[in-house]
């Protein structure tokens, strides 16, 4: 770890004023000052290089500073960095919306841009609620979500996260209480889920689910057949289906969109994180034609009254279009499949360790679930000494590497994870 003497001046001065995310500021170790990044690697102020095994919170899929995305942003910067989206249009956003509609299955054709995943989910919830209100239906006011789920940190999204195991339990009684039920896996689970729908389905506007992997709620995985069955049951009770693909979209699980593995098309899908290849903040909520048409009316009151200030930012949309170019031109999905093989082989060594509950891999996501996570400061030191940056949470060690990572880099990440899994969690 860096000492105060080694740290650059901007870091020493700014550390007193910056409030960091998900961090107890009284006891936390200092953040690692990064001065540059390229490919899969972060360069620290003290000269060390670390492989970023988290991919900038799951966003940097093509690697840092990919020249094609850099060039697209630079070209956009020289002509139109930003213009308000109310009453004005620009090529980058309209082209991106057209491309997303072509890539997404079914009739997911109507893109509403925002600047973060939490807001994209908020927009989806607003769309779903107003879909019913615009048709004169007043009873469908709730949103159904699943235990182990995570959909954001804003107030509406906190209400559809797991209230017991998530990070938002402190806000019970402040945020709205929504029905959050066990994610069904067995036939018995599905019988209970269907019984809930029979009792309360008429009060539910939409069901919200992370397809195939619940991310920040614990990296829990479920089968495509499970996703398909949940969606079918919800629809049989007239409930809109919303997929939160902010984590899993754009190749993370081996297909461009996770929903493709289940051959299910939701009514609304939320996308973000890897949308711009990790260069700039951008998210999008894409609605089906059925949902969109419920807002078409002569009455202004039936319009969707939402509009982030930086909605459809031209620089971010240019980055997203360039990222889609790379999915077309370069073998990203094949690279993800190869990473899955490397992760499976490397993490297998953790199986059977006393503190290990489970090891699971899907696409470019590798997870070791522990009984107890070792002290954070110890893990931070050990990972940095191993030449990697990883950020565990709860009882989860995981990696979400860039898709351009090579075999040696994946091996370095998996060795670091396995070594961490073998630590005695009771030792500081």
**Six-digit token pair at 145?**
């979500």
DSSP-derived letter for residue 90 is: -
Assess whether 302 carries a catalytic annotation. Answer: no
**Would you mind telling me the total number of residues written for the chain in this entry?**
428
Q: Which region, left, alpha or beta, applies to residue 63 given φ > 0 means left and ψ of -120 to 50 means alpha? A: left
CA–CA distance, 421 with 347 (Å, rounded to integer) = 10
Assess whether 362 carries a catalytic annotation. Answer: no
What phi, psi does 299 have (nearest 5°)? Answer: -85, 125
Assess whether 244 carries a catalytic annotation. Answer: yes
The residue annotated as part of the active site, out of 52, 64, 115, 150, is: 150
On the 0-12 / 13-18 / 19+ scale of CB atoms within 10 A, 279 is buried
Nearest CA among 53, 120, 34, 124 for reference residue 400: 53
CA–CA distance, 346 with 222 (Å, rounded to integer) = 22
Concatenated DSSP letters of 60-89: -SS-BT-HHHHHHHHHHHHH-S---SSS--
Judge contact between 312 and 95, C-beta under 8 A: no
The residue annotated as part of the active site, out of 52, 115, 162, 244, is: 244
The residue annotated as part of the active site, out of 52, 64, 162, 273, is: 273
305-337 burial, b for 16+ CB within 10 Å, e for fewer? Answer: eeebebbbbbbbbbbbbbbbebbeeeebeebbe
Pairing of strands 356-361, 366-370: antiparallel
CA–CA distance, 286 with 105 (Å, rounded to integer) = 11
Nearest CA among 401, 406, 402, 404 for reference residue 417: 401
Judge contact between 147 and 172, C-beta under 8 A: no
Please work out, in degrees rounded to the nearest 5, the angle formed at the alpha carbon of residue 232 by the alpha carbons of 129 and 168. 50
Q: SS3 of 304, please? A: coil
Nearest CA among 155, 164, 172, 166 for reference residue 215: 166
Query: Any idea which residues carry the catalytic annotation?
Result: 22, 150, 244, 273
């Amino acid at each position: 770890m860096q000492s105060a003497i080694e740290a650059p001046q901007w870091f020493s001065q700014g550390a007193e004023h910056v409030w960091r995310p998900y961090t107890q500021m009284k006891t936390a170790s200092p953040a690692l000052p990064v001065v540059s990044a390229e490919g899969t690697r972060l360069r620290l102020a003290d000269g060390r290089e670390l492989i970023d095994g988290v991919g900038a919170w799951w966003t940097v899929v093509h690697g840092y500073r990919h020249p094609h995305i850099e060039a697209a942003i630079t070209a956009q910067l020289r002509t139109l960095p930003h213009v308000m989206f109310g009453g004005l249009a620009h090529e980058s956003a309209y082209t991106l919306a057209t491309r997303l509609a072509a890539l997404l299955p079914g009739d997911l054709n109507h893109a509403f841009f925002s600047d973060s995943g939490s807001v994209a989910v908020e927009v989806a919830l607003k769309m779903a609620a107003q879909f019913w209100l615009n048709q004169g239906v007043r009873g469908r006011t709730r949103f159904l979500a699943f235990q182990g789920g995570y959909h954001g940190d804003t107030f509406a999204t906190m209400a559809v996260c797991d209230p017991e195991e998530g990070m938002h339990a402190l806000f019970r009684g402040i945020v709205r209480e929504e029905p959050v039920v066990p994610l069904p896996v067995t036939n018995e689970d599905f019988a209970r889920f269907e019984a809930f729908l029979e009792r309360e389905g008429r009060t539910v506007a939409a069901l919200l689910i992370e397809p195939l992997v619940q991310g920040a709620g614990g990296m829990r995985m479920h089968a495509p057949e499970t996703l398909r069955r949940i969606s079918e049951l919800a629809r049989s009770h007239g409930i809109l289906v919303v997929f939160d693909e902010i984590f899993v979209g754009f190749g993370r699980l081996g297909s461009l969109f996770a929903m493709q593995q289940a051959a299910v098309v939701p009514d609304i899908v939320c996308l973000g994180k890897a949308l711009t290849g990790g260069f700039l903040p951008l998210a999008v909520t894409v609605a089906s034609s059925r949902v969109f048409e419920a807002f078409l009316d002569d009455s202004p009151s039936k319009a969707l009254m939402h509009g982030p200030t930086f909605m459809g930012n031209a620089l971010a949309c240019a980055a997203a279009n360039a990222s889609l170019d790379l999915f077309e031109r370069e073998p990203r999905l094949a690279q993800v499949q190869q990473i899955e093989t490397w992760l499976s082989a490397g993490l297998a060594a953790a199986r059977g360790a006393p503190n290990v509950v489970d090891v699971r891999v899907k696409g470019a996501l590798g997870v070791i679930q522990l009984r107890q996570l070792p002290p954070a400061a110890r893990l931070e030191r050990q990972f940095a000494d191993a030449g990697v940056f990883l950020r565990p949470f709860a009882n989860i060690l995981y990696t979400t590497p860039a898709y351009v990572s090579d075999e040696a880099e994946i091996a370095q990440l998996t060795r670091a994870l396995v070594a961490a899994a073998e630590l005695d969690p009771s030792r500081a």
